[in-house]
Amino acid sequence: MISPTKTKGFTFIEMLVILVVLGLITAAATPNLIAFTKARDRKAFQLELKTLCLDAKQRAITTGTNYKISFSESENQVELRQAIEGEEPDALKTIPVPEDYEATNLDLAGRIQESTSWEVVYYDDGTCDAGGIEFASGNDVFCWLIDPKTGLGKIQAGSLPDATTEKWEAGTYEQRL
């Protein structure tokens, strides 16, 4: 008597079921992965902005020369350069703005500026000009504010604050010429 041989493996139907299940899992996980990646990129960008302020302040104090942080609309990036009168030296450090974000408002000492004229100068005493940039992507808006007394940057959720509503004590800040 000849016994039937048993084959090992999966049937075509079983393989299709496995592929469909894997496809459903992938489809469910992909949006979460994309959102996680965008959130990570946003946090990294914000941390780099804060670090750029520290770097500019440290360079200005250490070298005794002025440095400036500016925004390049054409490159969509924030740049650190040495501030040399009448010259535009190469950028020492650049931070590209994440793909989905754009700079919507640029504030310099309480006045909205064009992106071509926005620059915050760091002086050799560790102080700097006041400034901020508002970044937006859909409903997600945050701003980067630079404190003129400390030279430090901070990130704040929402739009740039209205500098005209703040009251300044007379004589607290001296004007730089």
For 24-42, write each residue's pLDDT tens digit. 888 888 888 888 888 899 9
CA distances in angstroms from 149 to 67, 127, 130, 152, listed in the order given: 16, 5, 8, 8
* Average pLDDT for the chain: 86
CA 163 – CA 46 distance, rounded (Å)? 22
CA 91 – CA 102 distance, rounded (Å)? 20
More confident residue, 60 or 33: 60
CA 66 – CA 60 distance, rounded (Å)? 5
CA 97 – CA 78 distance, rounded (Å)? 7
Q: Judge whether residue 154 has pLDDT over 90.
A: yes
Per-residue confidence (pLDDT) for residue 99, from 0 to 100 = 87
Report the percent of the chain where pLDDT is more than 70: 88
Closest CA to 128 of 145, 106, 111, 113: 145
CA distances in angstroms from 175 to 49, 57, 119, 171, listed in the order given: 25, 19, 16, 9
Per-residue confidence (pLDDT) for residue 71, from 0 to 100 = 93
Which residues, in sequence order, are CB contacts of 108 under 8 Å at separation 6+? Answer: 117, 118, 119, 120, 129, 130, 131
Handedness of CA 64, 53, 136, 31 (dihedral sign): positive
Output phi, psi for 156, to 5 deg.
-135, 135
In CATH, what is the architecture of 14-165?
3-Layer(bab) Sandwich (3.55)
CA 120 – CA 147 distance, rounded (Å)? 10
Q: What tokens does 3 get?
A: 């016994």
* 3-state secondary structure at position 175: coil
Per-residue confidence (pLDDT) for residue 171, from 0 to 100 = 52
For 71-127, write each residue's pLDDT tens digit. 999 999 999 999 988 888 899 999 999 988 999 989 988 888 887 789 999 999 989
Reported confidence tier of residue 1, pLDDT bands at 50, 70, 90:
low
Reported confidence tier of residue 174, pLDDT bands at 50, 70, 90:
low
